[in-house]
Structure 1
Amino acid sequence: MKILILGDVYGRPGRKILKDQLATIIAEQDIDFTVVNGENASGGNGLSTKNAKELLNLPIDVITMGNHVWQQKELLETIADFPQIIRPLNYPDPCPGKGYDFFNCTLKDGRTKRIAVVNLSGQIFMPNLNCPFNMMAPLRESLKAAADLVLVDFHAEATSEKIAFGYFMDGYATAVYGTHTHVQTADERILTGGTAYITDIGMTGPLDGVIGVDSQIILDTMLTKRPSRFVTATGSVQINGIILTIDELENKVTHITRLYQTYETDQ
């Protein structure tokens, strides 16, 4: 069994490259289940209802989110219409949407795997949400017991917090993977308790920019210390993520492989 997990989809370039290439990647890699982080899919800032529908028309099983989940205000009203969208669990109650859910994946031989997908936001250099460690502590055993596989998108800034959370979930989660920084790290590994881990899976969208934004705008901001309106970068694009190879009998990851593909565009 193989699971494809793709990093933060950024703006129109990210959505377009998925429309053009996702089905091919799934076929070539023999993927059974696909999870995509969509918190930057609308102009690099949130996820609109229209773009949520656009992404879910693709072969995507689950969309996870992050600190920009509510930037497109309409999602506050419409997120309940999308059972495939998971927002950070550690937003304080009451909060629309859900922080985890269970999804069924039917394998090619007809067997079904029950997959729990969890989304959490870190606290260091991030919005001051509830502690992700304390939120997950009472759920670790129950999720492991209720699902064949447990996938955790830890949307966080600090490398140290991400690594610590990986160890916190080792032996409970099938995989803990970081999102948010848009830069793919090279530390993929399987921890001693069997949990696959990587600090950040990267982003899907503009390659010729600064984590998705036109590079000149960022340079001007850093040189002048004056804010500017962010504009999505153009030019080459990238698809970043990981592929998890799962032992179907043991329900454990045997390999975690980084996916990093670039594409030239005429935009």
Structure 2
Amino acid sequence: MRILFVGDVVGNAGQEMIATYLPQLKQKYHPQVTIVNGENATRGRGIDQIVYKHLLQQGADVVSMGNHTWDNPAIENFIQDAPRLIRPANFSAGQVPGQGFTLVKVNTIEVAVINLQGRVFMNPSDDPFAVAEDLLTRIKKRTKVIIVDFHAETTSEKEAFAWCFDGQVSAVLGTHTHVQTNDARILPDGTAFLSDVGMTGPYDGILGMQRGNVIKRFINQMPTRFEVAEDGRKTLGACVIELNDTTGKATKIKAVQINPDHPFIS
């Protein structure tokens, strides 16, 4: 089985890259399941129903979220009726709408996709390790193919999570920091790992935001509003994972970038 995972979609630029390249990536790699992180998809903060449906129409099977889940209040109006939209499972248990994982049927096999958020340098949330243990107890009764979008700030927390659950999940894929890392690997017990898949959106901004205000913030430490850098060149960050259908173990992981420095080759 092959899984395609696309990193944080940022604003209109990210949506444009999805519309242009997701169909081409699917044609090239023929994934059975496509997962897209959409937590920055609507104007760089959260997601609304129009954009959620747009991502599904372009080929996403699951849309995952992160720390900006609630930044666009419109999500509260539809998240309960969006079976392919998942927010971090370790958000205050029983106190927020939505679901932390979903199951996608591929022929006779179910693929579980879990969304979790780290706690280091992030807003308060429940313990992702404990929540994962509880979820896996239930999910493993249905499938061994389990993909985790671990939305976190530090590589150490992402690595710790991946090593903790090596062999229990098929892949731990980091999101949130918007810069693709060069550490794609298969851990000893069969879990694919990548610290950060990277983002999909403005290539010449800073983490997708307009450069000027970000630079000023570092220079003068004054509060400033970050705006998505919608103009200019664009990038797409993704990865492709190959899995053993029977064991759920990963056999290969490949990082993918599409931008002016890494042109798409069909």
Structure 1 length normalisation: TM-score?
0.93
1:1-267 matches, cutoff 5 A: 1-92=1-92, 93-105=94-106, 111-233=107-229, 234-263=231-260
Distance 1:138 1:91 in 2: 14
Distance 1:3 1:102 in 2: 14
Deviation of residue 139 (structure 1)? 2.6
Deviation of residue 112 (structure 1)? 3.1
Distance 1:100 1:247 in 2: 21
Instruction: Name the SS for the 1:66 alignment partner.
Output: coil
Q: In 2, are the aligned partners of 1:86 and 1:99 still within 8 Å (CA)? A: yes
Q: CA RMSD in A?
A: 1.4
Q: In 1, are the aligned partners of 2:144 and 2:246 still within 8 Å (CA)? A: no
Deviation of residue 148 (structure 1)? 3.7
Deviations 1:216-266 (A, max 9, x none): 1211221222222222112111110110012334432110000111159xx
Kindly, what percent of the aligned residue pairs are identical? 38
Deviations 1:36-64 (A, max 9, x none): 00000011111112211221211110000
Q: Which moved more, 1:74-83 or 1:113-122?
A: 74-83
Distance 1:190 1:141 in 2: 23
Q: In 2, are the aligned partners of 1:144 and 1:173 still within 8 Å (CA)? A: no
Structure 1 counterpart of 2:58, one-letter code? L
Distance 1:156 1:38 in 2: 15
Structure-2 change in CA distance of 1:73 and 1:188 (3 Å): same
Deviations 1:76-119 (A, max 9, x none): 121012110000001112210000121112xxxxx432001100
Structure 2 counterpart of 1:171, one-letter code? G
Distance 2:197 2:182 in 1: 9
Distance 2:247 2:136 in 1: 18
Deviation of residue 21 (structure 1)? 1.4
Q: In 1, are the aligned partners of 2:46 and 2:70 still within 8 Å (CA)? A: yes
Structure 1 residues not aligned, in runs of 5+: 106-110
Instruction: Name the SS for the 2:134 alignment partner.
Output: coil
Instruction: Name the SS for the 1:137 alignment partner.
Output: helix
Q: In 1, are the aligned partners of 2:167 and 2:249 still within 8 Å (CA)? A: no
Aligned length: 259
Distance 2:133 2:247 in 1: 24
Deviation of residue 20 (structure 1)? 1.3
Deviation of residue 205 (structure 1)? 0.6
Q: In 2, are the aligned partners of 1:177 and 1:200 still within 8 Å (CA)? A: yes
Distance 2:248 2:67 in 1: 30
Structure 2 residues not aligned, in runs of 5+: 262-266
Structure 2 length normalisation: TM-score?
0.93
Q: In 2, are the aligned partners of 1:140 and 1:169 still within 8 Å (CA)? A: no
Distance 1:80 1:249 in 2: 32
Question: What is the match of residue 264 of structure 2?
Answer: none
Distance 2:130 2:214 in 1: 36
Instruction: Name the SS for the 1:171 alignment partner.
Output: coil
